Structure 1
Amino acid sequence: VVALGDIVAVIPMAALVAVMIFVSIATFDWHSLQTIHRMPKSETTVMLSTVAVTLLTHNLAIGVGVGVLVACVLFAQRIAHLVDVERVVEADGSVRYSVTGALFFASSNDLYTQFEYAADPATVVIDLSGAQVWDASTVAALDAITHKYATRGKTATIVGLDPHSFDRFERHTGQLSAH
């Protein structure tokens, strides 16, 4: 188009629009309209938001950008609930919480509520060998958890961090919370 700019400039705009509409109609998957009710709601939401924003702004790049953002938010919501916390009372009377899953900003708030602060004994172990710490908000949540135990006169020890998670934890622990 750049090399042929002078030639394209003399083509009437209506003709270019007609070609664009024809190509759009010819390449659209019309069968997808029949199957839209069987698609996952998240995929339908991404598609409809992309189309709506594109039509409202008359800009495909903005529509695709919004679609990508919506897809990211929906993905974060979906994996935020894939964190599992299992409480086990050990033979010595201590409690071990085994945490599995991806720990990041969307799952950190849920993590904080998974502990039985009042009912737990003086010694609590939080085992993260099945989890990955993805961001600083998780470190802040872990700090808040250990702080809440400390305010109750209890000791919470975090164990099992993989090297990447350990590095992130060491860099941020104690620096992010408001207590």
Structure 2
Amino acid sequence: MIEKLKQNWFFNVKGDVLAGIVVALALIPEAIAFSIIAGVDPMVGLYASFCIAVIIAFVGGRPGMISAATGAMALLMVPLVKEHGLQYLLAATILTGVIQLVFGVLKIARLMKFIPRPVMIGFVNALAILIFMAQVPHFWGINGMTYVFVGITLAIVYVVPLFFKAIPAPLIAIFVLTVIAIFTGVNLNTVGDLGIIKQELPSFFI
């Protein structure tokens, strides 16, 4: 039993810790962004993403798989929240989970092979376009230095792994550029500008 626990939970401590840090840092702005897309308070997205990540780590998933906020669900929640209010969101989320459990028990995933590939490509591409369009307003009227930081970030993410892989490139980019922004005093929008971060638990509406 102990050996099995070690094998499942502690076989790659360094990699898991580094991956966890990267995911945590990336998940915060992503959760806030998806909350804005869905039309809910940013704290709702933050707590939901935290709960998903912790619960799935113990009761589901597989090594190397990350479960967190997703743009596909955020886009679907837009008309729901707009037409019926936040109180329907929790009920819809629970119903989604129940449907997924039923699909898993019935092994519905086997039927996915019958869906034409062009349909799946169209779905994924349309989703990417909708997410991109939701982010476009945030690209206008911002400091020009923002584009410089974006360019440097992309360069680090794509170039560094060619020479150095001990530390994830996204983590290097986040750390280096955050330190530069703090010590140079560059005028940049921050994650906190996307919404009000409150130190209180969200309420459940159903």
TM-score clears 0.5: no
Structure 1 length-normalised TM: 0.28
Instruction: Considering fraction of residues, name the structure with more strand.
Output: 1
TM-score, normalised on structure 2? 0.25
Greater helix share, 1 or 2? 2
Question: Greater relative contact order (Cα 8 A, min sep 6): structure 1 or 2?
Answer: 2
